Amino acid sequence: MTKILMVCLGNICRSPLAEGILRSKLPKDKFYIDSAGTASYHVGSKPDIRSIKVAKKYGIDLSTIKSRAFTVSDFDLFDHIFVMDQSNLENVLNLARHKNDTLKVSLILNEIAPNENLEVPDPYYGNDQGFEIIYELLNEACNKLFIRLNP
């Protein structure tokens, strides 16, 4: 079983959407996919209604996801940890205990544009169009992950 964790700040907008998109593409018997936030403001909450809506438009159900905080033990539980932006990257790497932890962590958009360190923009204070944009970016990144991780 390959275990993949998607991480953003609040775990209500970007990472639950990434979780749902990737889960819809990969075989359930071979991949475990989860998401978490580096901040705990929204722990226990459902994803933002705008993420739920854009996912539903593409046939993906996020309604059972609940926000949780990233913890150090996630380095032990997961094989790959994908973060959305530089700030998430710093927050996660600050918790790493050794090099093996850091090697699991990368910016998800490097799947599309290797080494360019592009970010999935934080859509929280924006409008619905921002959620369409993050859907498109995450869907493209998850298509690449499907090819790379499911040969």
What SS3 string covers 118-129? CCCCCCCCCCHH
- Residue 17, phi then psi, degrees to nearest 5: -65, -45
123/133 Cα distance (integer angstroms): 9
36 binds ligand 4NP (CB under 6 A): no
Among 2, 30, 41, 49, binds ligand 4NP (CB under 6 A): 41
Minimum Å gap between C-beta 60 and ligand 4NP is 16
CB 52 within 8 A of CB 62: yes
- By beta-carbon proximity to ligand 4NP, the closer residue of 58 and 97 is 58
Which residue in 54, 104, 122, 131 binds ligand 4NP (CB under 6 A)?
A: 122
DSSP state for residue 81 in the 8-state scheme: E
Does position 124 interact with ligand 4NP (CB under 6 A)? The reply is yes
Residue 12 DSSP one-character state:
S
Contact status: 12 vs ligand 4NP (CB under 6 A) = yes
| Binding flag, residue 20, ligand 4NP (CB under 6 A) | no
Q: Which residues are catalytic?
A: 8, 14, 122
